[in-house]
Amino acid sequence: MRKNIKKMASYYKPYIGTFCLDMFFAFIASLVSLIIPLPVRYITQNIDQMTPDSAVTLIIKIGIALIVLVVIQFVAQYYIAYVGHVMGAKMEYNMRAEIFAHYQKLSFAFYDEQKVGQLMSRVTSDLFEISELLHHGPENIAISFIKIIGAFIILFSISPYMALAAFALLPPMFTYAFFMNKRMKRAFRENRVKIAEINSQIEDNLSGIRVVKSFANEDIEKGKFKKGNDAFLVAKRNSYHYMGLFNSGINAFTVLINIVVIVSGGIFMAKELVAVEDFVTFLLYINVFTDPIRMLIDFTEQFQNGYTGFERFLEILAVEPDIADVPGAKELKDVKGNIRFDDVSFKYKDSAHRVLRHINLEVSAGSYVALVGSSGGGKTTLCSLIPRFYEVTNGSISVDGKDIREVTLKSLRDNIGIVQQDVYLFAGTVYENILYGKPNATREEVVQAAKLANAHEFIEELPNGYDTDIGQRGVKLSGGQKQRLSIARVFLKNPPILIFDEATSALDNESENIVKESLERLAANRTTFVIAHRLSTIRNAERILVLTENGIEESGTHDELMAKQGIYAQLYKWTK
């Protein structure tokens, strides 16, 4: 916990000036609260010894002084409420940027194990609670301790007898708070887990809403959500149980302190150990003393929320990227596209058996290679190893003689273009989605890329042309249109190495022919890997590799493989 608190404190560093001013104004606001009750004692002690006129004059002067103090307190509290909150928002901004940047570093292997909704909750609700803690935490502690210590000194100077009687309840009160606090922490952490699960379920449902509606399974989804929502309610009820015990217990202690003061004060006045004016002032200061205790109650709840969120935040930051640049990694430049697999084997973390076994393969620059085989044979996995989406388990892969683990990830991936079956388009315009392939491209280059991808015609027919908003994931476009935009994106990137992952398998015949023409144009003079679902589309490939669990079983042209009457020939007959 000490290490975590130290890390949390590091986020104050860029705003140390603002933080110090925040603490200063917290001190001023607390000081004013301590000063305001003092005139009551002075007036009650001296009023009967003064003439009516002089008494009125004195009271007016004291009133003016108190108004000035209220103005000072107003300024101090405004600074705390406004500038302090902005400081908290800036720290939240920095943490959000930090965790988002960290998300970008993590590999596919990490995302294979995670749910998007849970990752989002760490960036949204968790960080909000953390920022509230970072802003209000030190300020509330400072105000509370200043008021408690100041009130204690003043109360003890007024009447040591009543002070000792009132403070006798503090040790059992803090003991109670300590034990309840531990139980609240566990309960609030469980809350975080449950709300993250609900976020994940909502994200999953909304992303697949068309599938839900197509199967008319809204009631099933409601049932699944109810199960998660019920679990969250149970966790919330548990946390509120301990929070209720904590709050009501502390409030009971503060009321008991007032009762002790009233009873003991009455007894001391009866025995003439305490004057009436001291008793009245003491009662006023007891409220000044108990207010910061209530503030500490609020802080405890806030701390549990914020700290459990911060622990979850640190959990993500603690995940080391399993694929990263090695020290001294060099830029991959002037890529020709020669690719070599040297005894490559691979298995996923959660898999006992190897997906790829002892793959030895050499592809010369500009070659057009097709990968075929039954589902699960490792075709997509093999291609995913080239841009290092996953790391090889054994062996090595090289591009132009350079081991891909010894070059920077960015330079490697900058030289590889991928067109997938499941096209992902971002919310925004057609123009923005094509520009993603080369963010510094001119509009003319974007249009040219669209023309090469056979996309310019249909784009021009859209309501706003290239500036048409295509909706979330390109929902306003057909499958063929989306695929052509993804191809235009790769045309704009202009990489020497291409990977087509069943890019036409989900399209109708007309769309497939248009997209196929675009792909062939794109593949010209580039090293190209094609994962084929329909074997008729790769008949003209320079080289066809048949991939099975045992590795590359067959290799050759279409005619050569058909003549062998082996695995490829059987697959071709089945899919024809």
Q: Which domain holds residue 345?
A: 339-575
Q: How many helices (H) and strands (E) does the chain have?
A: 21, 10
| 331 belongs to a structural domain | no
Angle at 12 between CA 9 and CA 13, to 5 degrees: 105
For residues 354 and 242, membership in a common domain is answered with no
| 164 belongs to a structural domain | yes
For residues 72 and 147, membership in a common domain is answered with yes
| 384 belongs to a structural domain | yes
Ordered strands of the 551-556 beta sheet: 416-420, 497-501, 527-531, 368-372, 543-548, 551-556
Query: Mean pLDDT, to the nearest integer, of 560-572?
Result: 86
Of 184, 195, 206, nearest to 125 by C-alpha is 195
For residues 433 and 479, membership in a common domain is answered with yes
- Helices marked H in 417-545 — which ranges? 430-435, 443-452, 456-461, 479-493, 509-523
Q: Is the pLDDT of residue 188 over 80?
A: no
Give the whole-angstrom CA distance, residue 302 versus residue 305.
5
Give the whole-angstrom CA distance, residue 185 versus residue 162.
35
Q: What kind and span of H or E run contains 128?
A: helix 125-158
How many domains is the chain partitioned into structurally?
Answer: 2
For residues 304 and 441, membership in a common domain is answered with no
| 323 belongs to a structural domain | no
For residues 288 and 424, membership in a common domain is answered with no
Backbone angles phi, psi at 398, to 5 degrees: -130, 150
Chain centroid, CA 452 distance in Å: 38
| 325 belongs to a structural domain | no
Q: What integer pLDDT is reported at residue 508 of this predicted model? A: 58
Categorize the per-residue pLDDT at 74 as very low, low, confident or very high, splitting at 50, 70 and 90.
very high
Q: Report the predicted TM-score, pTM, of the whole model to 2 decimal places.
A: 0.73
Would you say 161 and 264 are in contact if contact means Cβ atoms under 8 Å apart? yes
Q: Is the pLDDT of residue 265 over 90?
A: no
For residues 311 and 441, membership in a common domain is answered with no
Q: What integer pLDDT is reported at residue 58 of this predicted model? A: 84
Q: What integer pLDDT is reported at residue 202 of this predicted model? A: 77
Q: Which of 191-200, 327-336, 453-462 has the lowest mean pLDDT?
A: 191-200
Q: Which two tokens stand for residue 439?
A: 């963010």
For residues 238 and 355, membership in a common domain is answered with no
CATH for 72: 1.20.1560.10
Q: Is the pLDDT of residue 61 over 70?
A: yes
For residues 354 and 283, membership in a common domain is answered with no
What percentage of the chain carries pLDDT values higher than 70?
95
CB-count burial class (<10 Å; 0-12, 13-18, 19+) for 349: exposed
Complete DSSP assignment for 193-256: HHHHHHHHHHHHHHHTHHHHHHTT-HHHHHHHHHHHHHHHHHHHHHHHHHHHHHHHHHHHHHHH
Q: Which of 20-29, 44-53, 313-322, 454-463 has the lowest mean pLDDT?
A: 44-53
Of 499, 509, 504, 466, nearest to 484 by C-alpha is 504
For residues 311 and 350, membership in a common domain is answered with no
For residues 80 and 20, membership in a common domain is answered with yes
Interstrand relation of 497-501 and 551-556 (parallel, antiparallel or unpaired):
unpaired
Complete DSSP assignment for 143-193: HHHHHHHHHHHHHHHH-HHHHHHHHTTHHHHHHHHHHHHHHHHHHHHHHHH
pLDDT tens digit sequence for 430-448: 999 899 888 899 999 999 9
Distance, first Cα to last Cα, the chain: 64
Backbone angles phi, psi at 223, to 5 degrees: -65, -45
DSSP code, position 330? B
For residues 343 and 311, membership in a common domain is answered with no
Q: What integer pLDDT is reported at residue 41 of this predicted model? A: 72
Q: Rounded mean pLDDT of the chain?
A: 83
The single residue listed with the structure tokens 């006992």 is: 352
Q: What integer pLDDT is reported at residue 511 of this predicted model? A: 65
CATH for 480: 3.40.50.300
Categorize the per-residue pLDDT at 352 as very low, low, confident or very high, splitting at 50, 70 and 90.
low
Of 249, 283, 317, the residue that ends a domain is 317
Q: What integer pLDDT is reported at residue 350 of this predicted model? A: 60
| 37 belongs to a structural domain | yes
pLDDT tens digit sequence for 85-113: 888 888 888 988 888 888 888 888 888 77
| 94 belongs to a structural domain | yes
What percentage of the chain carries pLDDT values higher than 90?
13
Q: What integer pLDDT is reported at residue 342 of this predicted model? A: 94
| 333 belongs to a structural domain | no
For residues 306 and 343, membership in a common domain is answered with no
